[in-house]
Amino acid sequence: MRRDIITSAIGIIVLTILLGLAYPLLVTGVSQVAFPGNANGQQVHVAGKLVGSKIIGQAFADPKMKNGKVVEEKGAVVTEPDPRYFQTRPSATEGGADNAAASTFSNLGPNSKATEEAIAEHIKGYLELEGPYNPGLSAARVPVDAANSSGSGLDPEISQANARIQARRVASVRHLSLVTVDGLISKYTSDRGIGFSGEPGVNVLELNLAIDRLTGATR
Amino acid sequence: MTFLGWLTIVLFAVILTALAIPFGSYLANVYTGKRVFLTPIFAAPERFLYKVLRVDPHREQDWKAYAKSLIIFSLAGWLLLYVILRTQDGFYVPHSLNPLGFESAPWNVTFNTVSSFTTNTNWQYYSGETTMSYLSQMIGLTVQNWLSAGVGIVVAVALIRGIVGRTGKSLGNFWQDLVRTILYVLAPLSVLIAIVLVSQGVIANFSNYLTVHTVTGLTQSIAMGPVASQEAIKMLGTNGGGFFNTNSAHPFENPTAFTNFFEMLVVLLIPAALVFAYGRMTGNRRQGYAIYATMMVMFLGAAAVAYIAEAHGSPAQHAAGLHTHVLAGSSGGNLEGKEQRFGIAGSALFDVVTTVTSCGAVNSAIESFTGIGGAVPFANLSASEVIFGGVGTGLYSILLYVLLAVFIGGLMVGRTPEWLGKKLEAREIKLAGLGILITPLAALLATALATASHAGRVSISKAAIGPQGFSETFYAYLSQANNNGSAFAGYTGFIQPNAGNVGSHGVTFADLLGGFVMVFARFAPILFALAVAGALAGKRVTPAGLGTMRTDNPTFVVLLIGVIILVGALTFFPALLLGPVVQGLTSHLY
């Protein structure tokens, strides 16, 4: 008994130093040297300014204005999608969409009225935004990724089907040819993992920045 | 459903098996004290650790001594982790390792979290990036990711020694087994896995949270941290506690479809390899193959059901007018709470991988799975984590089932049951029976308490009306009792109105009940497994005769699957009917 207590006490301290300090420091140190870009979150800079992480979704939205004032709800600024940009997936993160300091699931159940309402609202928003540029677009043709919240709430990608629908709006608003925009979509579509696993996805941040570069848009 | 979706599932099983067989041989060599290729590197550190810990690795322990060392060591880990988490904002914490100045969580939440990480459960009422400092994640949670995994593995090893042991009562030495597990198994793999993950985009830094001025001029704060080191052992040790709140759905924990596939392999590697190690250590590899076949059949069945159900879509989607079939450039299916890069198959398979094991990591919201898709993790948990199971826990749990199956088989043919040449008697059967039933008992009792009391029902999320609310509660206690840790994450035990812990408080009932359930359902079965090992250790081996029932052929595999399903079904069917089955059978919205 006594022996076990002494060994346990020493053991937990020694192992905490080895596994809790030495191990994370070793891994983080090696990573910082070997893969500094990845280890620091694949930060994207434009003109020297940090505009996001390549693999973290962000809201391409503007503050909603009413009578020249920013609308606030529960202390958070209400935003609406910026039609010049491709939009990321619906996000249920706390404190507003795409909050990368508090990732959250929507936790909406399969048989809940609340789920139906949330999906219906996403569909409505999508149709309002894309409908004018996609004649004949109906709820039945909305890709699921545009109507369902992502898991992390920070999904950096959208489906190709979703991107092709949004391309018509972006091309029209930005005065670009649809062929050009579609070409960029293909360029920023990631393949499946090892050729067969997962789904291809379009990286929204990279795509939007490419379009900005093409049109010479400045913020 | 797509061809590539099915291919993912099949190739996963093939690659896993191909990796697990050689790794199983390696494990068998490590635990029988043979030289392995890492011996030249780790022999000196191993001796050094024995010296520091003041243990004599050659001192043999019977089951009681082995259990005593294990319990005392786990208790020491529990106490230290409690102190670390409660002094998160203490004087000794440098600012750079708690950049946002998070306060400690309240005592009740901490009780739950500590019980969770020391039992390999990793149930999380807290949210990582809004409550945990980098230092807490490292010296607190990461350490227990290692140690709780190690404790699980050594119990399996001790049980195998009891089963094959021919002389005396010895099960080996707990400290030697633990040190070897850490040095020869977990350490080299963890470092390797962590580096692979970073090469694909998992982050590893001590930076402050990034402040980003987005393309449209909004401000976004992005959580950072030493993720890769914790992610590697989280998957390898079937722990499953995410660095971030959304666990492996978060792009910084699981950035690509490749890492998704890779992480799934890492989760099952040790549980699968231990089965082959068992075969080798018994001197009859077919014993391992039979158990592996049992596990694989049930695993593939679960994956197929989950994939079909999720690809079909949910009633809520259909009611909202969404079409859920596969289109050109769209995965279709129930994508609520799922990430685009993993798709339906990658999410369904991940869910099965982490709920058959005690991992409990999630790459999608289980609460948002369809009724039948969500019934799959329920069923996996109801099978008491024996389909691969946690590292070590899976093997020792299924070996108790093997014992039960041999006993039932013996009764059917009317002979004294024998297992690997040893006669099974009343004592072993009683101990195994208790070891098997204690987890379901804890799960059902806790669910009943939480459903029947007001204090329990406050944890149910507002949106979870009707059967969803029951499912949430039942899953919470089933998951905690099985030391799994995945969740219908709407169920709350911790309320934090603002990030940074200011004004946060725990739901005492849920925190304490869950904490006790985890500790009880972890250590009671361990004691029974070790007691079984002790009872078997000294038994005389008689050569197999003509009438001996074989435990290494397809007939036995069928019998074993039957026993597992029978026990799970008899115990859990009534409760399962009230939650996921109701939801799976109706398109009614609540």
Burial label, B79 (beta-carbon count in 10 A; 0-12, 13-18, 19+): middle
Give how far A207 is from chain B: nearest CA, Å. Answer: 12
Number of helices followed by number of strands (H, E) in chain A: 8, 11
Instruction: Determine the pLDDT at residue A219.
Output: 46
DSSP state of B140: I
Tell me: pLDDT of A218 over 60.
no
Structure pTM? 0.95
Radius of gyration of chain A (CA): 22
Cα–Cα distance, B176 to B163 (Å, whole number)? 19
Provide φ and ψ at B362, rounded to 5°. -130, 145
- Å from A128 to nearest chain B CA? 16
CA pair distance B326, B521, nearest whole angstrom: 42
CB B472: neighbour CB atoms within 10 A?
24
Longest dimension (CA), chain A: 79
Q: Find the distance separating the first CA and the last CA of chain A, reported in whole Å.
A: 69
What distances in angstroms separate CA B28 from CA A86, B138, B288, one per listed residue? 54, 30, 12
Percentage of chain A beyond pLDDT 90 is 84
Left, alpha or beta for B429 (phi > 0: left; psi -120 to 50: alpha)? alpha
Contact by Cβ (8 Å): A112, A118: no
Q: What is the sign, positive or negative, of the torsion defined by CA atoms of B355, B360, B361, B364?
A: positive
CB distance B551 to B293 below 8 Å: no
Mutual orientation of helices B508-537 and B143-164 as an angle, nearest 10°?
Answer: 30
Query: A186 touching B, CB under 8 A?
Result: no
Question: HSE of B501 in the Cβ direction (CA atoms, 13 Å)?
Answer: 21
Residue B553, Ramachandran bin (φ over 0: left; ψ between -120 and 50: alpha; else beta): beta
For residue B196, what is the nearest residue in chain A, using CA coordinates? Answer: A31
Query: Mean of the pLDDT values across residues A43-53?
Result: 96
What's the average pLDDT block by block, 10 residues per block, for chain B (590 residues)? 94 97 97 94 96 94 96 97 95 93 95 97 94 96 97 96 86 96 97 98 96 94 97 96 96 97 97 97 94 96 96 95 91 96 96 94 95 92 89 95 94 87 92 94 96 95 89 95 93 90 91 97 96 92 81 94 93 91 86
Pairwise CA distance, residues A63 & A77, whole Å:
6
Q: Do B214 and A7 touch (CB under 8 A)?
A: no
Answer yes or no: is pLDDT of A76 > 80. no
Question: Is B303 exposed, middle or buried, given 0-12, 13-18 or 19+ CB atoms closer than 10 A?
Answer: buried
CA distances from B47 to B42, B57, B65, B184 (A): 9, 9, 22, 13
Distance (Å) from the alpha carbon of B468 to chain A's nearest alpha carbon: 7
Choose among B315, B366, B458: nearest CA to A115: B315
What whole-number distance in Å separates Cα of residue A48 and Cα of residue A33?
22
CB-based contact A165:A153 (threshold 8 Å): no
**Confidence (pLDDT) at A217:** 63
Residue B446 CB neighbour total at 10 angstroms? 25
pLDDT tens-digit readout, A113-161 = 999 999 999 999 999 999 999 999 999 999 999 999 999 999 999 999 9
| CB nearest to B129's CB, from A40, A98, A102 | A102
Contacts of A101 in chain B (CB under 8 A): 129-130, 209, 221-223, 499
In chain A, what residues touch B244 (CB-CB under 8 Å)? 103, 152
- Greatest extent of chain B over all pairs of C-alpha atoms, in Å: 80
A108:B316 CB<8 A: yes
pLDDT at position B429: 94
Task: Classify the phi-psi angles of A107: left when phi > 0, otherwise alpha if psi is within -120 to 50, otherwise beta.
Answer: left
Residues 53-82 of A with CB under 8 A from B: 53, 55-63, 77, 79, 82
| Shortest Cα–Cα distance, B410 to chain A (Å) | 40
